[in-house]
Amino acid sequence: MRKCALSAMNDIFAAIASSKTVYLPVDGADGNAAFTKWEDGLVWSHALNTVRSPKDFFFPQTEDLMAFKTEGKTIEVIDIRKESEDFVIFGVRACDVKSFDVLDRVFLSEPVDSFYASRREHGVIVSLACSRPSETCFCGTFGIDATAPAGDVTAWKTEDTVYFEANTAKGAALLKDIEALTEEASDDAVKAQQEKTKTILAKLPLANLTTEAFGGGKTKEFFNHPAWEELSQACLGCGTCTFVCPTCQCYDIKEFNTGNGVVRYRCWDSCMYSEFTKMAHGNNRLTQKERFRQRFMHKLVYYPENNDGLFSCVGCGRCLSKCPISMNIVKVMKTIGGNNG
């Protein structure tokens, strides 16, 4: 394990930024933390997490896929793909690190999505252990240890020191790059912080929430549950939950006429939207109840059925704090799953 003084982080960021782009959570003028490209003097936020998840780094909200030139009856397809540049994301929380596993299963399964794969290959993740989890946190429900997040490098931040431990070859290479700025450390302080955090985690309001009732093969059990009606009644179909969710990955493919050709791009989409499934000959999900049910059934039943039991939720709590009508996956799990955790 390596360590450096918290006050030396600017030098660490500067050293890494000489060869890679560095991103870190920075407090914005609105008081919200957001992943921001590092520039000299930018301060690493103390916020628990960013409002937007880091999924943008690998699966951006909008991204150009290809371009076309048309002339008369002919069409030219232009491959505009570029290899991603190397980058490092600092301060990714345990829940969000886990979300990359969920996204990987979608985008890296055959046929591999080359856009996502290129970014994934060139991105280095420095996770940050939690020390002050909040009442909307429930990563433990999904077996995630907030005190020992995965990632290429795991970091622990105490009042005045940052500790680093490499988990992958990529992570070891990164720590090698900053070797001169860090020193060997014992893990005593980290262990002490972990113990303290675990006591806080155990007392959180959602500490006893379990996934026991859910998983693959439960479609019949839950699909026609009478509670979907009431749970979805107030849903505005705004899609906020989807957009802040680190694991939601549904996308649309659209086109834009540049005046000089056509660019085909993809952008995030939401199964909560009324036109998501609309076709020329009809729409197989006509009501908000059906769309609402799809989102949660996918996360709690369909996705795990296809992915060895892995749930498509990491308990980050963003939907709990951002839904305008205060509906969220926890309420769904408790109601549908009969779980009072």
Partner 1 sequence: MNAHDTLIPQIGVITDVRIDTPDIKTFRVVTPDGKKAFDHRPGQCAMLSIPGVGEAMFSITSSPTNEEYMEFSIKKCGCVTDWLHQAEVGQQLTIRGPYGRPFPVDDEFAGKNMLFIAGGVGLAPLRSVINYCRHYRDRYGDIDIVYGSRSKDDLLDYEEIINEWANDAGVNVHLTIDNPQEGWDGHVGFVPNYVKELGFSTDKTAVLCGPPIMIKFTLEGLIALGFDKTQVYTTLELRMKCGVGKCGRCNVGAKYVCKDGPVFRCDELDELPDEY
For partner 1, which is the closer residue by CB, 134 or 265? 265
At its nearest, how many Å lie between partner 1 and the CB of residue 255? 6
Q: Which of 209, 211, 236 is nearest to 323 (CA)?
A: 236
User: In 3D, which of 123, 124, 186 has the Cα closest to residue 156?
Assistant: 186
Task: Mark residues 266-305: x for contact with partner 1 by CB under 8 A, - for none.
Answer: x--x-x----xxxxxx--xx----x---x--xx--xx--x
CA dist., res. 245 & res. 53, Å (int): 7
Looking at 15-23, 110-118, 166-174, 193-201, which segment touches partner 1 (CB under 8 A)?
110-118
Residue pair 91/129 in contact by the 8 Å Cβ criterion: no
Instruction: Compute the least distance from the CB of residue 327 to partner 1, in Å.
Output: 20
- d(Cα 287, Cα 233) in Å, to the nearest integer? 10
Reduce the DSSP state of residue 108 to 3 states and report it. coil
Q: From residue 1 to residue 40, what is the string marking binding to partner 1 with x (rule CB under 8 A)?
A: ----------------------------------------
Task: Tell me which stretch binds partner 1 (CB under 8 A): 16-24, 137-145, 175-183, 260-268.
Answer: 260-268
* CA atoms of 187 and 90, how far apart (whole Å): 20
Q: Is 112 in the site for partner 1 (CB under 8 A)?
A: yes
Instruction: Estimate to the nearest angstrom the gap between the alpha carbon of 29 and the chain centroid.
Output: 23
- Binding to partner 1 (CB under 8 A) within 49-78 occurs at 65-66, 68, 70, 73-77
Query: Counting contacts by CB under 8 A, is residue 180 touching partner 1?
Result: no
Tokens of residue 238, six digits? 């705004």
Strand spans (E) along the chain: 2-5, 21-27, 33-37, 62-71, 74-78, 87-92, 123-128, 153-157, 161-166, 183-184, 251-257, 262-268, 278-279, 282-283
> Is residue 118 involved in binding partner 1 (CB under 8 A)?
yes
Residues that bind partner 1 (CB under 8 A): 65-66, 68, 70, 73-77, 79, 81-83, 106-107, 111-115, 117-118, 216, 219, 223, 249-253, 255, 257, 261-262, 264, 266, 269, 271, 276-281, 284-285, 290, 294, 297-298, 301-302, 305-306
